[in-house]
Amino acid sequence: MSNPNYDNPAVEERWCYDRRADVVDYLAREGVVHGQVGEWPAWHITPYISIWAVESHKNPEWVGWWVICGDLPTDYISAQSIKHPREAMRGFAERWQEVASYMSQGKPHPTIKIGSPLVWSELAPLLQTRAKLLLEYANDNDIWVEIDSRDESD
**What integer is the mean pLDDT of 12-17?**
96
Spell out the alpha helix ranges (H) of 3-119.
9-30, 85-104
**What integer is the mean pLDDT of 62-90?**
96
Q: What is the pTM of this model?
A: 0.90
**What integer pLDDT is reported at residue 29 of this predicted model?**
95
Residues in the chain: 154
- pLDDT above 80 for 150: no
Asked if omega into 47 is within 30° of 0 (cis), the reply is: yes
**What integer is the mean pLDDT of 2-16?**
90
- pLDDT above 90 for 14: yes
Instruction: Indicate the helix (H) or strand (E) that contains 47.
Output: none
**What integer pLDDT is reported at residue 3 of this predicted model?**
82
DSSP secondary structure letter of residue 55 = E
Work out the mean pLDDT of the chain and round it to a whole number: 92
Q: How confident is the model at residue 1 (pLDDT cuts 50, 70, 90)?
A: low
pLDDT per position as a tens digit, 82-122: 999 999 999 999 999 999 999 999 999 999 888 899 999 99
136 vs 134: CA distance, rounded Å = 5
Q: Which residues have C-beta within 8 Å of that of residue 45, sequence separation ≥ 6?
A: 137, 143
**What integer pLDDT is reported at residue 149 of this predicted model?**
55
**What integer pLDDT is reported at residue 145 of this predicted model?**
78
User: Are 108 and 102 a contacting pair, CB within 8 Å?
Assistant: yes
